[in-house]
Amino acid sequence: MIDGWEAAVEAKIREAQARGEFDNLPGAGKPIPGRNDPYDECWWIKSFLEREQLPGDLLLPTPLQLRRRIEQLPDEVRDLPTEQSVRAFVVDLNRQVIEWLRTPTGPRVVVRPVDVEAVLAGWRADRARRTAQRTVAAAVESVAPVPARRRSWRLPWRRR
């Protein structure tokens, strides 16, 4: 037996169907995605991350997130314009590491602050290498190509 509230809801649904509000909905007539896949407990988390286009790193515990950021540090600071910006980036990361070390949560993973001077030395070396590569590329482009020597073809039975 349907009570008054459910009857009202069913009536609204039937009225919307009669008006055609459920016609041409996206995905109409298509199979439900993942219907034949094996069951996965974390399907809703994976679909949320995919739908919202979020990186999977957000699900990692804090120490693992910090370790990953430390591993990716050379790539993250590569395009920073000045030594001060690199230093500020590394100091902020170290602040987060020290904050976690004061009140550790999650799995026991060794996480240590990063040596700012070592990161700066790597950044300087990478910057010098890229500058040298650009200089060489510019020098190669500025050299005019030597035109290829035309080969004269002659028939073997004709003499010059």
Please count the structural domains in the chain.
1
| Closest by CA position to 110, among listed 101, 119, 99 | 101
Answer for the pair 83, 120: CB distance below 8 angstroms, yes or no. Answer: yes
State the CB neighbour count (10 A cutoff) for residue 140: 8
Task: Per residue of the chain (160 residues), give pLDDT as tens.
Answer: 557 788 889 999 999 999 988 888 888 888 887 778 888 888 888 888 888 998 888 888 989 999 999 999 999 999 999 999 999 999 999 999 999 999 888 888 889 999 999 999 999 999 999 989 888 888 777 775 666 666 666 666 666 5
Domain assignment present for 1: no
Assigned token pair, 28: 């109409």
Domain assignment present for 79: yes
Boundaries of domain holding 121: 61-141
Q: What is the CA radius of gyration of the chain?
A: 32
**pTM > 0.75:** no
Domain assignment present for 125: yes
